[in-house]
């Protein structure tokens, strides 16, 4: 039995897996000899190519980098025999180690995937590009600037240490309420869990059915209101909708006992009540994004159980998981050891720090989201380019202990939301099969957080009229996808059959250029009633302050 302190030293229990792998190879000496033979053959290939490079230019690399690997794209890695040999040594050993791990005997799939993930992190970390003595581009930059790039890199490093994360964008280029989250509106409700922002209409008349947007509380809402050109909220306002959005409170230690039930009763149910009261309309449209979409799905089943489904005219689910069997790359953190580690951290502080969560997601794409900025910020001494989505991504939020532990265990680990009546939320048994509300689902092709074929699994479970849209790009850019004559995006859209699999559906759809936003509005319009007078607030829910409010600044 391992000592208690070992769980802090090795929270994902990699040590026992490495030990098991070593014993396995010891029990299969024939296979071990074969893999070392493969390595020795690669050494000879590398050595031959290295010597040849000093005599004549190479026509091709014996161990080429992957197409999406941007670390060795500068000409010096190809043209200099010395630096080319270092690059090729790294690449062939990287490939060999990963291939060898995947054929290690006696490891189960979980052990193999977990070990592969952490091996990839280590291999990415030791790339020659990450070290000044092994990075010719950074060395040239230092000589060219007479050392100024190194001084700037040191300043950047000290700045990022103080901030607690590697800067992905110029932090000084943005300010919420100044050049982000600028759509005019007012806070019309403030509670322990959220502020409700209601946006100013651009005309006297609006659609009778208001739009309620349930943003993910894992991040701040303004990803849907970045600037005038990219704002989904501004787009809806211009289409004549009365738009309300959740601006979730950033919880502290005093909020550790906030439960998932609270996010239903004091979150989504509360904003829907505010929207109905101010608008005077009996129903609302609801749009949920990411975990906000998971909450929306659950709430629709909760309302159906209470015989209150008629409060919702339609629901739109953006990149929404309701079946967590294959939740994407993040599943490497979702096992008993990983969850126990997270629980211990949350027990100490009462919440999970958003920076910890952001670091986990960045590790899923560590070359592009960590080491790219390590090299740029510190070795090259550069200030990252101003990019609003990356600023939003770094503007992290905290997760209250009780809610987040429940969410990770009951949704991700035990996958109970997919099973009828397996979850009881705010006094009601939850069965997605009770949902009859018209649904508009949007998923994205390259989503590593909510893979589109996994989001599809809601379709056979509900009894709704349903439209499914697959947008190009990923979890953020596939959603923040405004109409534009220069758009490079595309989408596929249609009514899926309840027994149809995603591959069959996709094969039948025509690719449509541009943004899916206009087609969504066309879908919403006939479900939105006539045009009525716009009301910003009411006696019960008066204006408290201007948008973007106070919670988003916490």
The two three-digit tokens of residue 229, written as one number: 């050109």
Cα-Cα-Cα-Cα torsion 477, 479, 483, 484, nearest 10 degrees, comes to 0
Any alpha helices (H) in 280-396, and if so which ranges?
A: 291-305, 336-349, 354-363, 366, 372-374, 388-394
Question: What is the CB-side half-sphere exposure of residue 107 using CA atoms within 13 A?
Answer: 24
The residues near 44 (Cβ < 8 Å, ≥ 6 apart) are none
List, in sequence order, every beta strand (DSSP E) within 375-505: 399-400, 423-425, 428-430, 439-444, 466-471, 490-494
**DSSP string covering 77-127, please?**
HHH-HHHHHHHHHHHHHHHHHHHHHHT-TT--HHHHHHHHHHHHHHHHHT-
Q: Which of 339, 422, 380 is nearest to 152 (CA)?
A: 380
Choose, from 168, 218, 278, 290, the residue flagged as catalytic.
Answer: 290
Residue 106's region, left for phi above 0, alpha for psi from -120 to 50, else beta, is left
**CB-based contact 449:479 (threshold 8 Å):** no
How far does CA 55 lie from the centroid of its chain? 48
Measured distance CA(153)–CA(382) in Å, rounded = 7
Measured distance CA(365)–CA(119) in Å, rounded = 14
Any alpha helices (H) in 366-443, and if so which ranges?
A: 366, 372-374, 388-394, 401-406
What are 318's strand-pairing partners?
289, 442
290 catalytic per annotation: yes
Residues known to be catalytic: 290
């Amino acid at each position: 039995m391992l000592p208690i302190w070992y769980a802090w030293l090795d929270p994902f229990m990699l040590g026992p897996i490495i030990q098991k792998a070593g014993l396995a190879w010891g029990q299969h000496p024939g296979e071990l000899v074969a893999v070392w033979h493969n390595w020795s053959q690669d050494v000879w290939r590398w050595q031959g190519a290295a010597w040849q490079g000093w005599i004549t230019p190479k026509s091709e690399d014996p161990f080429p980098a992957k197409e999406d690997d941007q670390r060795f794209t500068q000409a010096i890695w190809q043209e200099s025999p010395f630096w080319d040999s270092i690059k090729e040594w790294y690449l062939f050993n990287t490939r060999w180690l990963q291939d060898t791990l995947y054929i290690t005997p006696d490891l189960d799939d979980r052990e193999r995937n977990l070990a592969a993930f952490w091996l990839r992190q280590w291999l990415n970390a030791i790339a020659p590009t990450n070290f000044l003595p092994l990075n010719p581009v950074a060395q040239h930059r230092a000589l060219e600037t007479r050392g100024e790039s190194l001084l700037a890199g040191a300043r950047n490093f000290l700045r990022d240490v103080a901030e607690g994360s590697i800067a992905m964008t110029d932090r000084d280029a943005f300010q919420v309420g100044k050049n982000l989250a600028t759509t005019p509106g007012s806070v019309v409700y403030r509670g322990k869990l959220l502020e409700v922002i209601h946006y100013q209409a651009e005309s006297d008349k609006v659609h009778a059915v208001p739009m309620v947007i349930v943003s993910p509380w894992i991040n701040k809402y303004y990803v849907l209101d970045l600037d005038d050109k990219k704002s989904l909220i501004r787009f809806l306002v211009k289409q004549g909708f009365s738009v309300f959005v959740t601006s979730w409170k950033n919880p502290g230690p005093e909020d550790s006992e906030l439960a998932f039930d609270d996010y239903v009763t004091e979150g989504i149910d509360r904003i829907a009540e505010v929207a109905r009261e101010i608008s005077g309309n009996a129903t609302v449209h609801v749009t949920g994004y990411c975990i906000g979409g998971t909450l929306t799905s659950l709430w629709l089943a909760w309302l159906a159980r209470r015989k209150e489904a008629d409060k919702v005219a339609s629901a739109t689910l953006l990149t929404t998981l309701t079946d967590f069997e294959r939740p994407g790359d993040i599943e490497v953190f979702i096992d008993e050891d990983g969850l126990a580690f997270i629980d211990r951290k949350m027990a100490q502080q009462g919440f999970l720090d958003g920076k910890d969560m952001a670091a986990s997601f960045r590790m899923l794409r560590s070359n592009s989201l960590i080491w790219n900025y390590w090299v740029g910020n510190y070795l090259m001494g550069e200030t990252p380019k101003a990019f609003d989505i990356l600023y939003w991504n770094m503007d992290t939020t905290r997760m209250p202990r009780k809610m987040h532990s429940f969410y990770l265990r009951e949704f991700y680990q035990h996958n109970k939301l997919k099973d009828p009546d397996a979850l009881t939320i705010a006094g009601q048994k939850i069965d997605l099969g009770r949902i009859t509300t018209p649904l508009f689902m949007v998923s994205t092709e390259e989503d590593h957080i909510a893979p589109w074929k996994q989001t599809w699994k809601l379709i056979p479970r509900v009894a709704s009229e349903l439209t499914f849209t697959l947008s190009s790009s990923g979890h953020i850019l596939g959603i923040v996808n405004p109409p534009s004559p220069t758009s490079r995006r595309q989408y596929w859209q249609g009514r899926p059959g309840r027994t149809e699999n995603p591959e069959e559906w996709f094969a039948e759809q025509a690719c449509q250029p541009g943004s899916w936003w206009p087609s969504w509005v066309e879908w919403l319009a006939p479900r939105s009633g006539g045009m009525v007078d716009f009301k910003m607030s009411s006696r019960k829910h008066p204006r408290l302050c201007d948008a973007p409010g106070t919670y988003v600044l916490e």
